[in-house]
A and B are shown apart, each in its own frame.
Chain A
Amino acid sequence: MFYREAGDFKTTYADDSQTFPIKFDRYRYWAVLAFAFLVVPFIINDYWLNAVVLPFLIYSVAAIGLNILTGYCGQVSLGSGGFMAVGAYSCYKFMTSFPGMDIFSVILLSGFVTAAVGILFGLPSLRIKGFYLAVATLAAQFFLVWLFNKVPWFYNYSASGQINAPERTVFGYAVTGAETHAWAVYLVALVFVVVLAVVARNLTRGSLGRKWMAIRDMDIAAEIIGVNPMTAKLSAFAISSFYVGVSGAMFFVLYLGAVEVGEAFGIGKSFIILFMVIIGGLGSIFGSFAGAAFMVLMPVLLKNVMVGQLGWATDLAAHFEFVIVGGLIIVFLILEPHGLAQLWRLAKEKLRLWPFPH
């Protein structure tokens, strides 16, 4: 009834090619943004920020990054954890070497550093395909983690081998370090997420995104119709790594504050991000958010139910969590291999015909 194209006349090209062609979607989009910017900062507290909201926002960025590479360009990567580590460590180096720099430029710069590293590890993708490439990206994962562990320059020769985020402020409010306000940290993360998501959405709709999808669907055919596989693949690696690097930097400065590389950015991180992308839906920006929300919320929920309600020991709950996460992934893949984004698409189809389905 209200969710339809009919009656929404487009009179300019700009109107015609806007992100959300349906009026209801546009209103919903602005409503969500308004809620996120104007309501949430006033009600958020430390528990919600650290247990749910902040991990969700940060993982969303990482999932969008991996989705660009895997969902849009078809190159499976298991090195996201390593690239997040690059983001975190370059962020740390920038913060300690240039104390005057503000946090936004530091995080963006770490993204660019990660993009460069991503291009380097993306080079083999020009020769290697499929699972061979997936395994090859593990090289990045293990090598980078080893590098940050073994070369003391990266952690400024600190005795513990950890990196700690120094305090930085935005408009006089501390957003990193020990004394932070929940709402300030939240807003910084939110600004990054919104801007990066909008950019990603438009990149994937534009000519670059079409090139990626052509490569994903069949690289040889894409090459024949004039898509340069080198620029397409390497740009996907660069942009994807940029996103993952930014999320790694945020993960370090905004969320953890102190990082030990093997613990925070191990192979498990790579798999979690891949799960988010698959469960959310390959090739969908909304899916990245949905997958991140699912993977962040489910463990919290399970833990609350099992430890809080049933009163089981935490190690038992942890084992159950593995069983349930693994089982759900399998069930999900069997029932809906295209992920939550596909469910959303189906719901929208239904909504279009509602209340008079034929």
Chain B
Amino acid sequence: MSAGFYYGTEVFLNGLMTGVLYSLVALGFVLIFKSSGIFNYAQGVMALFAALTLVGLQDGQVPFAHLINSIFGTQVHHFGWHLPALLAILLTAGVMVVLAILVERYILRHLVNQPDIILFMATIGLAYFMEGFGDLMWGSEIKKLDVGIPQGGNLWIEENTAFLGGDDFYGFYLDSLDIVAAVFAGLLVLSLVLFSQYTKTGRALRAVADDHQAALSVGISLRFIWVVVWSIAGFIALVAGIMWGSKSGVQFSLSLIALKALPVLMLGGFTSIPGAIVGGLIIGVGEKMFEFLIGAPFLGGATENWFAYMLALIFLVFRPQGLFGDKIIERV
């Protein structure tokens, strides 16, 4: 077979890996949307904030150092310690839980029964707030995140697939980081499914997702569930932040992965966890293949920015609720 075919396959595999990361972000959206009907635009910024906090904790940065220095004229920057990755991750997870509690306490609680658009706007406000707050707390320069995930091309795969092609084919190039990310995403999804099927809280979560009022009437605390859901979303954001942050550095553009996850949601349906995963894979593969086959050769490249949206748009015209979304039933 020709080398072009193998390169195509390589692009396909890489798309699959990217798709897993998209699904990871989309998963956070779906969880919150299902349980509270809120379209949480801040999910991407939560990933950025989590990654910033992780780096800051790991390197022992002084929070708000820039602000303190400006006001008091001091020169503090670092505490001078270096935390092990695992401890820093746990602490960051704690920060995300605190964040979830604060969001519930100061935003959601006051916006019960408001129209969806208002809640959506509130999360955009939250996104702005956290973006500024994260930069204020940890500084806005690009940071390197290293929690010990191997990076660079995976030699083992490359060597063991080289025999497939001819002399000009050196095996599939896959980033180790992507493989680790895919494995972690898979584990995360599995544990989420187990959690929601077999634990008491998980069952309560599904009850709330089904019907708020019915859940309230059987004694499920809506507020507690919201805190749990936002914590889980924060945790997913942390995982996504670690993966994307290790890949391309912790910087503002990290928050833009939210925009990558939106077409995934449209394609898979806002209310479906399997939808988020399948949608992510389709989008990841689709946009890489489109760029490889049509975008780069004929359209001048950089089609990845919009291809996913167009695909989702065209798809939605035929199936307005997405692949796995709940059927939309409307009554007068």
List residues of chain A with CB under 8 Å of any chain B CB.
70, 76, 124, 127-132, 134-136, 138-139, 142-143, 145-146, 149-151, 218, 220-221, 224, 267, 271, 274-275, 278, 282, 312-313, 315-316, 319-330, 333-334, 337
B312 touches A330 (CB 8 A): no
Given contacts A136-B309, A319-B136, A337-B114, contact A325 B316 (CB under 8 A): no
- Tell me, yes or no, whether B110 is within 8 Å of chain A by CB: yes
A329 touches B121 (CB 8 A): yes
B309 touches A326 (CB 8 A): no
Shortest CB distance A277–B (Å): 10
The 9 closest A-B pairs by CB, nearest first: A322-B132, A326-B129, A326-B128, A329-B125, A139-B309, A323-B132, A142-B306, A143-B306, A330-B125
Shortest CB distance A175–B (Å): 34
- Tell me, yes or no, whether B221 is within 8 Å of chain A by CB: no
**What is the CA–CA distance of A312 and B118 in the complex, to the nearest angstrom?**
34
Besides A139-B313, A146-B306, A330-B122, 8 new A-B residue pairs in contact (Cβ under 8 A), listed by A number: A127-B320, A132-B322, A218-B332, A319-B133, A326-B129, A329-B125, A337-B114, A337-B118
- Tell me, yes or no, whether B300 is within 8 Å of chain A by CB: yes
Which of the residues A127, A220, A275 comes within 8 Å of B330, measured between beta carbons? A220
- Tell me, yes or no, whether B3 is within 8 Å of chain A by CB: no
- Tell me, yes or no, whether B164 is within 8 Å of chain A by CB: no
**What is the CA–CA distance of A284 and B78 in the complex, to the nearest angstrom?**
51
Given contacts A146-B302, A146-B305, A320-B132, contact A271 B316 (CB under 8 A): no
Minimal Cβ-Cβ distance residue in A for B42: A326
Give the A-B pair count, Cβ closer than 8 A: 148
Which of the residues A138, A319, A333 comes within 8 Å of B111, measured between beta carbons? A333
**What is the CA–CA distance of A131 and B299 in the complex, to the nearest angstrom?**
30
B259 touches A136 (CB 8 A): no
Residues of A within 8 A of B136 (CB): 316, 319-320, 323
Shortest CB distance B186–A (Å): 26
Shortest CB distance A172–B (Å): 43
**What is the CA–CA distance of A313 and B71 in the complex, to the nearest angstrom?**
11
B128 touches A329 (CB 8 A): yes
**Interface SS, A side:** helix
List residues of chain B with CB under 8 Å of any chain A CB.
39, 66-67, 70, 106-107, 110-111, 114-118, 120-122, 124-133, 135-136, 140, 259, 262-263, 265-266, 270, 299-303, 305-306, 309-310, 312-313, 316-317, 320-322, 328, 330-332
Given contacts A127-B316, A136-B313, contact A330 B259 (CB under 8 A): no
B128 touches A316 (CB 8 A): no
Shortest CB distance B113–A (Å): 10
**What is the CA–CA distance of A127 and B121 in the complex, to the nearest angstrom?**
23
Shortest CB distance B122–A (Å): 5
Minimal Cβ-Cβ distance residue in A for B67: A316
B129 touches A330 (CB 8 A): yes
B67 touches A132 (CB 8 A): no
**What is the CA–CA distance of A326 and B114 in the complex, to the nearest angstrom?**
19
A139 touches B312 (CB 8 A): yes
Minimal Cβ-Cβ distance residue in B for A321: B132
Shortest CB distance A272–B (Å): 10
A138 touches B121 (CB 8 A): no
Which of the residues B133, B305, B316 comes within 8 Å of A132, measured between beta carbons? B316
A224 touches B129 (CB 8 A): no
Shortest CB distance A281–B (Å): 12
7 A–B contact pairs at CB < 8 A?
A: A128-B317, A132-B321, A136-B312, A146-B303, A316-B70, A330-B107, A333-B125
Residues of B within 8 A of A282 (CB): 117
Shortest CB distance A226–B (Å): 14
Shortest CB distance A47–B (Å): 26
Residues of B within 8 A of A278 (CB): 117-118, 121
Most B CB atoms within 10 A — which of A143, A275, A312? A143
A135 touches B265 (CB 8 A): yes
Given contacts A221-B332, A323-B136, A326-B126, contact A143 B320 (CB under 8 A): no
Residues of B within 8 A of A333 (CB): 111, 114, 118, 121-122, 125
B124 touches A329 (CB 8 A): yes
Shortest CB distance B331–A (Å): 8
**What is the CA–CA distance of A278 and B124 in the complex, to the nearest angstrom?**
12
